[in-house]
Every structure is written in structure tokens, then in C-alpha cells.
Amino acid sequence: MIPSLEDVSRITGLRVYGRPVSGYTYPCYHELAEQLLDLPVERRSSLVPRVALQESLGLYEAGKNAGESEDEYLERLSRVSRRELASEPGQQADLDLRRFLVLFLGRLLFATRGDAVHCRFLPLLEDLGEVGGYAWGAAFLAHQFDGLSVSERQTSTSGFYPFLQVWTYLHLPALGRGDLTRPGLVPIARRWDSRRDTRHLADQLERLQEAIDSYPYLDVVWQPYLGEGDEGQPWLAQARPYFGRSVWLHALNLSVVEFPVRDRFRRPGRSFRGLHDTTDWRERAREQIENWERKGNAVDVTGEIASLRALLYSAVHDREAAHRQTAELRSELERVRGAGAGGASSSRSAGGSPSLLEARLAGAVLRAEEAQRHLEEQERDL
């Protein structure tokens, strides 16, 4: 169970179909940034200072007003930005739009560790009429995979955190990490707010780790979109051919594989790294890009059957264990009741109400019977 193109499409609304996010990368973007952004760029690192970008857009000091909600604040920022862009002459509007897109891509969608903003996507923004045709959602997922390090020593990650947060809310709801404050909105990320936790960070992490380690199997939501329609989401129709397939994801110097089948492959890994030379990634990653243009490969049916068989075996094992546990609880409940009826128990109150132990056992039996019925239904479905 890993984030997929369907998750990206439904949670963020980003386009996961279209042209791959590919082209040239350069060792230095200084001249291109001056030409397309009219902003200074650090020569050696090709980074644009975040503050300079925000100041150029009038966003650096655009804070929330007193009593203003998050939604109202974002709506005001959007309204002001649209008005400013509409009032500017074409050339200045294009300049500001490129600045905004560099900030949006470099600091939000493809965020990296550190404060400055990289210019590696800038060549794709030269022709603004072409920007909407790229599969930004697929590149976003490649970046997410790349940011999930395999090193146990790494204590931070990069990327767009709300995507992984909402993905967790959908699959592991019993963790209670999110609040569904706006049900029904699309994309799905708009429905959720993260729950505020005032405890010390170390305490939060320790308790969260314990909750994940002991998370009940029956509370995992494996298919969170079964009840979701396509209303208000026109992008899903064109995205659907990419769902449930093994396909290469590409984003300039990153290429990773999105694997839809459980336990068949190891963690998606990097294929390319390094921006020290002028590189045409359409040529260097031609095989991966051609795979993307073919919409990848159909899922191997043999692997699908093997995964289902493993799930069935697990369900049978869980159902048998639940049956044994239910029988043991019933036996213990009968023993307690028998002892109470024979006057041997001191756990009944003067009014003759059931003992606390008996009440707890009765509740445990009901829960065990419900879990057993659920597992039997799951076994039949499999």
C-alpha cells in the first residue's frame, strides 16, 4: 500500500496525464532567470532567494487579518492576486505569473530542504501556454518517492506534506490525526484540517509510533475511494487510464516506478541524480518516457492472484484466531455467571446487578463476535 497516481489525482486534483515533465537541465540558470524572472540568482547554486520572490509578488508581508479564518485568508490572497494580474500589461503579467509558478513549484509542490527556490523547472515556463499540458501530478509523485529516504539516520523529509497527511487520514482513520471539516469538497485535500496537538514534539512522535505499531488490521481502509463519485472532477476521466498500472514516473532528473501491486517490488528508487552538466532528459530517460507515453504496463495477473491468495490466507488465519478468542471469552463469561448464580461470587452488588467483571466480559464477547462476522465476510469476498 503506497501512494499512487489515483491518490494524487483524487487528493490534490493535479493532472497525472499529458506530457512528461521533461526537458533540459543546466548547471547554471543565471541568464535564464534574469531573462524570464528579472530577479537575481546565486551563480553557483542557481537558487532564487525565497524572500525576493515573495516580495516581487507582494506576498512577503501579506499576513492574516485579526479574526480571519484560513479559508478567508486564502480567498483574499487569491482575489488580490487575480486583480493585480488582470490590471497589469501582458509582459508584466507574464513575468509575475512565472515568478509565482517558480515559487509554487519550488517551495510547495516540489519543496526541498532549505529556504531558497531552485530554477530547474524554469525552462518549462518560458512558453506559458504550454505549462498546463504537463503531467505535474506524476512528476509530483516521483518527487514524493524521492523524498522518502531509505536511510534510518535521516530525520527529515521534503515534499508537499499535506498530500501524505491526507493519504494517511484516508487509510488509517483510527489514528485520529485529521478533522473532516468540509465533507464532500473536491479535491479531497480540501475536506481536511490537521488536528492541533499541543504536547511536546517528542511525546507526540512517541505516541504516534505506538499507535502505528499497534494499529488494528480491521481498521485499515484499503480502498478509500469505493464510495467516491467523479462529480466535479473532470480530470479523473483522462487520468483513469493511468490508474492500477505499473508505470515509470518522470520529473527531469528523477525517474521512479509507481507499483500498484502489493509486495511485488521493493521500494521505488531513484534512477537518475545530478545536475552538474547540461542534460537533455528526454534523450537520457527515453525508455522511461516512452513507457509513460504508452501508459505503462498492465498489472501482472499472476502477481495479482498471488497477492489475493496471501490476503485470503491471512483472513482465514485471522478468522480462526477470532473464533478461538470468542469461544474462550464465552467460556469465561459462563464461568463468571455460574459462580455468581451459585452465590460464590462476591462481585455482585447488593441490588443484584451484574458484576463489573461480567459486564466487561459480555462487552468483550459482543466485540469478538462482531470481529468474527467481519472476518467471515472478508473471507467470503476474497
46 CB-near residues (< 8 Å, 6+ apart): 26, 27, 28, 29, 30, 33, 118, 119, 120
307 CB-near residues (< 8 Å, 6+ apart): 261, 262, 263, 264
Gap between the Cα atoms of 321 and 197, Å rounded: 36
- Across the chain, which has 382 residues, the per-10-residue mean pLDDT values are 91 95 89 88 77 83 81 84 79 90 90 80 94 95 79 65 93 92 94 90 91 87 88 92 87 68 41 63 88 80 66 78 88 85 51 71 88 84 80
pLDDT of residue 153: 62
Amino acid at 11: I
Nearest to 259 by CA among 282, 243, 281: 243
pLDDT of residue 316: 83
Q: Collapse the DSSP code of 221 into the 3-class scheme (helix H, G, I; strand E, B; otherwise coil) and give the result.
A: coil
Q: Beta-strand (E) ranges in 24-141?
A: 24-25, 47-48, 117-118
**Model confidence, pTM:** 0.73
pLDDT of residue 133: 96
CB 130 within 8 Å of CB 241:
no
Q: Collapse the DSSP code of 21 into the 3-class scheme (helix H, G, I; strand E, B; otherwise coil) and give the result.
A: strand
Gap between the Cα atoms of 217 and 214, Å rounded: 9
Nearest to 269 by CA among 42, 63, 38, 2: 2
- DSSP 8-class letter at 321: H
Between β-strands 245-251 and 47-48, what pairing exists: parallel, antiparallel or unpaired?
unpaired
Cα 326 versus chain centre, distance = 37
Q: Beta-strand (E) ranges in the chain?
A: 24-25, 47-48, 117-118, 178-180, 192-194, 245-251, 254-258, 279-280, 297-298
Length of the chain measured in residues: 382
Amino acid at 271: S
Show the cell assigned to 237.
476521466
115 CB-near residues (< 8 Å, 6+ apart): 49, 50
